[in-house]
Chain A
Amino acid sequence: MDLENQAAIKSIADDIGSENLMVVLGMPGEGLRLAVETLTTGDPSWAGPLAGVSLGLPVFHILEETVRAEVPGDLYADKLLMMEMVLDLPQIESDLADMRAAG
């Protein structure tokens, strides 16, 4: 996961407490897996500010059902519909389910 994003999330978690923070991601595939791992158990590449830091944050994807249901329809059509067509949504949902099941 991008080092700058790791630093930003760590800083917010330090300020408001990780119990008050959730992260909504947008990337698919291996990038999603790495980001989820980084934000829960720590940076697996040991290169970023979250190396060895287990924030245990709840992590969601912007396109999963529970999150996109919260986005107003016109905003969704304008900003997210196209990416919904680009990304493999069933794969994202199944990847997240696997990661959540694995804890």
Chain B
Amino acid sequence: MTAYLRAAANVLVHVPDLVRYGSKPWRETSSSNQAPGDVFANLRSFDEAVGYPPNQAFIGNLPPENLGEIPAPWYENPLAGASPEGHFGEILPQDAFCALLEAADQFGLIMLDKERPVPGAVGSEAATALLKKENPSKEYGEEDISRRIEGGEALPLFQEGEIIGCVRRDHDSDESLDARILLENLSAKASGAYALSRLLMQERIAPEHVEYVISCSEEAVGDRYNRGGGNLAKTIAEMAGCANAAGVDVKSFCAAPVYALVHAAALIEAGVVENAVVVGGGSMAKLGMKAYFHLEKGMPVLEDALGGVAFLLTKNPDAGPRVNLEVAGRHAAGKPSTPQGLAEALVRDPLARAGRKIASVDKYAVELHNPEIMLPAGAGDVAAANYRMLAALAVMGGEIAREEIPDFVETHGMPGFAPTQGHIPAGVPFLGHALERMRAGSLRSTMVVAKGSLFLGRMSRQADGASVLIEG
């Protein structure tokens, strides 16, 4: 049995009023007890986020390579006539996401002001499908909400700066059930379910058809006895109506999406299931992560959206390209965690084992962080550096001459276009483009390569990574 990639969906949720609860803005404003200030004065409108060229590339309306032809800064050069509806994705406005948060909540954590209408029709078929069938029972008034916020048990939820409700903690002393943590987890659940719903709508697949869901989201869901206990996958499956699907989470920081693809394909190859979905919800903690660098340079806050991705793998060979598990790279615990060590383990070695050259892969999908977000913070152009690394490996392997590095980068790479949402940029946002090109006959193969920073959790100084070849 072999596993094939049938469909990919990328979604964005524009949530300017949640930027304040991103880890960095939250720490800045709560530690100094300062007013939110400039961060909130430089947020973009929904239309600005929709027109932003990298966002259009993310939802499939613009080939990532075309970004190279758009003059920088991209935020000053929006695409004319841009739509929130994409070839394989969409962008959701915040008020609609608020309704999704409420639908994701089964414990009365999200308390929206009863005087304020929650949108029933949110302009997105995928999002509307997630709303509860009957209207949610709204029992909360402005007074109740204010009392909880003032009492410190709830955090306010805003729409264009006005309080429209709150999210409350669910335990007095359990920091895993703190209001901000619960909002973070509900945001991952709701945006993940939204990505999955979009995937199913796009492919006209009944939710009941899905057998297995693997979440590669980063959030630690659990209580004080099992912080990070997990299975966001199953809660996402439930919310998206996948009543016949079981699920599990796969985690390895930003490398998780590729592990999840490999695991899903392996379950299909082994005959355990006939289809499986990989889903990743967005990371609220990373909203506004580099906002202060952007503000310093007079830029808008570009990290104003949650990302979500979903992929469907199946045993049906007519569905799409093969997920080639014979060319899957892994980085063993004894390998050096240097950029070179990772590139060798994830790209050179698995290809060499299959008797293939680095240049034999048409396109590499590496960490696709939008450089316009990364460069002002001194974090470099991650995608470009990765492509140069692969080119350098090809030089060292005698495949190409050193002078051919720029050509290799141009041919086998692309500009980064994904929001800096941790696991979201991990190569996988290209898969929607890859599927379209493979079906049109203009692309034969792509290798997805992701890396993870294990050292962030202080358990090891290692990095990690995973890769897999997808070919028609």
Q: Which residues of A contact B (CB under 8 A)?
A: 1, 27-35, 45, 79, 81-83, 85-87
Contact = CB atoms under 8 A, between A and B. Distances in A.
B171 to A, nearest CB: 31
Contacts of B440: none
Contact of B391 (A83, A85, A87): A85
Nearest to B374: A30
Contacts of A82: 339-340, 343, 389, 392-393, 396
Interface stretch (B150-158, B178-186, B376-384): B376-384
B392 A86 contact: yes
Contacts of A86: 339, 385, 388-389, 392
Contact of A85 (B292, B375, B378, B392): B392
Instruction: Give the contact-size bracket for chain B.
Output: 20 to 34
Contact of B402 (A29, A33, A45, A85): A85
Contacts of A28: 380
6 contacts: A1-B378, A31-B379, A34-B378, A81-B396, A85-B395, A86-B392
Contacts of A35: 378
Contacts of B388: 85-87
Contacts of A29: 375, 378, 380-381
Nearest to A81: B396
A30 B391 contact: no
B405 interface: yes
A31 B378 CA distance: 4
Contacts of A30: 375-380
A81 B339 CA distance: 12
A4 to B, nearest CB: 9
Interface of B: 292, 338-340, 343, 375-381, 385, 388-389, 391-393, 395-396, 402, 405
Given A29-B375, A82-B343, 12 more contacts: A1-B378, A29-B381, A30-B375, A30-B379, A79-B338, A81-B392, A82-B340, A82-B392, A82-B393, A83-B392, A86-B388, A87-B388
Contact of A31 (B340, B380, B391): B380
B396 A45 contact: no
Contacts of B405: 85
A79 B341 CA distance: 10
B415 to A, nearest CB: 16
A11 B50 CA distance: 47
Contacts of A85: 388, 391-392, 395, 402, 405
B113 to A, nearest CB: 37
A83 B340 contact: yes
Nearest to B292: A45
Contacts of B375: 29-30
A34 to B, nearest CB: 5
B14 to A, nearest CB: 27
A103 B49 CA distance: 41
A83 B339 CA distance: 9
A2 B376 CA distance: 15
A29 B380 CA distance: 7
B362 to A, nearest CB: 21
A81 to B, nearest CB: 7
B311 to A, nearest CB: 30
Contacts of A32: 378
Chain B CB count within 10 A is highest, among A28, A29, A35, A86, for A86
A3 B355 CA distance: 43
B32 to A, nearest CB: 11
Q: For A27, A45, A82, which residue has the most chain B Cβ atoms within 10 angstroms?
A: A82
Nearest to A31: B378
B238 to A, nearest CB: 40
Contacts of B395: 85
Nearest to A88: B388
Nearest to A45: B292
A17 B402 CA distance: 43
Contacts of B378: 1, 27, 29-35
Nearest to B392: A85
Contacts of A33: 378
A71 B343 CA distance: 23
A23 to B, nearest CB: 16
Nearest to A28: B380
A63 to B, nearest CB: 13
Contacts of B377: 30
B178 to A, nearest CB: 24
Contacts of B385: 86-87
Nearest to B402: A85
Nearest to A33: B378
A33 B297 CA distance: 15
Contacts of A79: 338, 340
Contacts of A31: 378-380
Contacts of A81: 392, 396
Contacts of A34: 378
Contacts of A27: 378, 380
